[in-house]
């Protein structure tokens, strides 16, 4: 069965997210661990998490994907911004243990003119400080579009980060279809080649999740503007090939398309109808 869900608001807690997911025929979902702009966070309510676990077990919701605030920058020039990113992510990882065995996705960072090598070093330094041997969470580096000075546009950069992290058995990758497309990987015309390249450089065993988005912009645009499924430059046919590809079809897919719940429900329905695996 296709593992698919979308990004949901976490403001009403875990049980509410589980119910929202089920209402749109999703069997997994993604959520922000806190306000996407970072900062203060409500305490997790153990009762709420317990209700969520019961619901998930009963209805078959599979492991979750949490997303770090996208404003965190582990590669910032200002040490206090790096410190903030580190402390926030370390706190998130503690909170993730309420839902053991989940994945936690983050944007590697922007080197803001310091150069990719410095960015890669700063990001791996942070990971080396926050990862712990006993955490049950897998931390995912998201493939980026290469907007501005984003680190992680190429598979090589992600591989370099992974190589520098001691506890890298805790690391994986989340491939965002809009981002790799905007980054210059032609998943519409050359999906097999892109996957082979991913496998050669990073290794497919690291690939833990897919952000399934269409893109408003052409291949290699470095823009990062998500489009609804089938309404962008990647197109429905190519995205259907993504969910059915033998190397990807068992992974969980997360929609981050510009939609409300009803729009997500339609996209999930279309993708389920086109899933053959």
Binding stretches for Fe ion (CB under 5 A): 142, 176, 211
Beta bridge partners, 207, equal 173
Q: Tokens 């997303």 map to which residue?
A: 67
Residue 15 near which of Zn ion, Fe ion, none (CB within 5-8 Å, type-dependent): none
Q: Which does 224 bind (CB under 5 to 8 A by kind): Fe ion, Zn ion, none?
A: Zn ion
- Calculate the CA 192 to chain-centre distance: 21
Distance of CA 190 to the CA centre of its chain: 22
> In angstroms, what is the minimal distance from the CB of 219 to Fe ion?
17
182 contacts which partner out of Fe ion, Zn ion, none, CB within 5 to 8 A by kind?
A: none
C-beta closer to Fe ion: residue 208 or 211: 211
| Shortest Å distance, C-beta 143 to Zn ion | 10
CB of 175 to Fe ion, least distance (A): 9
Give 214's Cβ-side CA count (13 Å radius). 19
Beta bridge partners of 215: 226
Q: Which residue is nearest to Zn ion (CB)?
A: 224
Annotate each residue in 205-234 with x if it binds Zn ion (CB under 5 A) or - if it does not, as one string.
-------------------x----------
* CB 71 within 8 Å of CB 111: no
267 binds Zn ion (CB under 5 A): no
Q: Give the DSSP letter string of 161-225.
A: HHHH-TTGGGEEEEEEHHHHHHHT--TTT-HHHHHHHHHHHT-GGGEEEEEE-EESS-TT-----
Cβ 176 to Zn ion shortest distance, Å: 6
Q: Where does this chain bind Zn ion (CB under 5 A)? A: 224
């Amino acid at each position: 069965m296709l593992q698919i869900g979308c990004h949901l608001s976490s403001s009403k807690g875990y049980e509410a997210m589980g119910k929202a997911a089920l209402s749109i025929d999703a069997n997994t979902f993604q959520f922000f661990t806190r306000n996407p702009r970072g900062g203060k966070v409500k305490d997790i309510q153990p009762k709420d998490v317990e209700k969520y676990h019961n619901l998930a077990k009963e209805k078959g919701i599979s492991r979750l994907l949490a997303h770090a605030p996208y404003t965190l920058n582990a590669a910032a020039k200002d040490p206090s911004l790096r410190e903030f990113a580190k402390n926030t992510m370390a706190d998130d990882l503690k909170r993730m243990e309420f839902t053991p065995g989940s994945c936690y996705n983050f944007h590697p960072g922007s080197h803001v003119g310091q150069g990719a090598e410095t960015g890669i070093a700063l990001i791996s330094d942070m990971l080396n400080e926050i990862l712990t041997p006993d955490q049950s969470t897998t931390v995912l580096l998201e493939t980026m579009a290469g907007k501005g000075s984003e680190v992680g546009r190429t598979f090589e950069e992600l591989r370099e980060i992974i190589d520098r992290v001691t506890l890298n058995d805790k690391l994986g990758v989340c491939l965002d279809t809009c981002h790799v497309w905007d980054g210059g990987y032609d998943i519409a015309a050359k999906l097999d080649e892109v996957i082979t390249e991913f496998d050669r450089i990073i290794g497919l065993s690291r690939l833990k999740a897919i952000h399934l988005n269409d893109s408003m912009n052409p291949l290699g645009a470095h823009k990062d503007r998500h489009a609804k499924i089938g309404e962008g430059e990647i197109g429905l046919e190519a995205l259907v090939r993504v969910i059915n590809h033998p190397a990807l079809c068992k992974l969980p897919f997360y929609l981050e398309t510009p939609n409300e719940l009803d729009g997500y429900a339609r996209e999930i329905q279309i993708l389920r109808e086109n899933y053959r695996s």
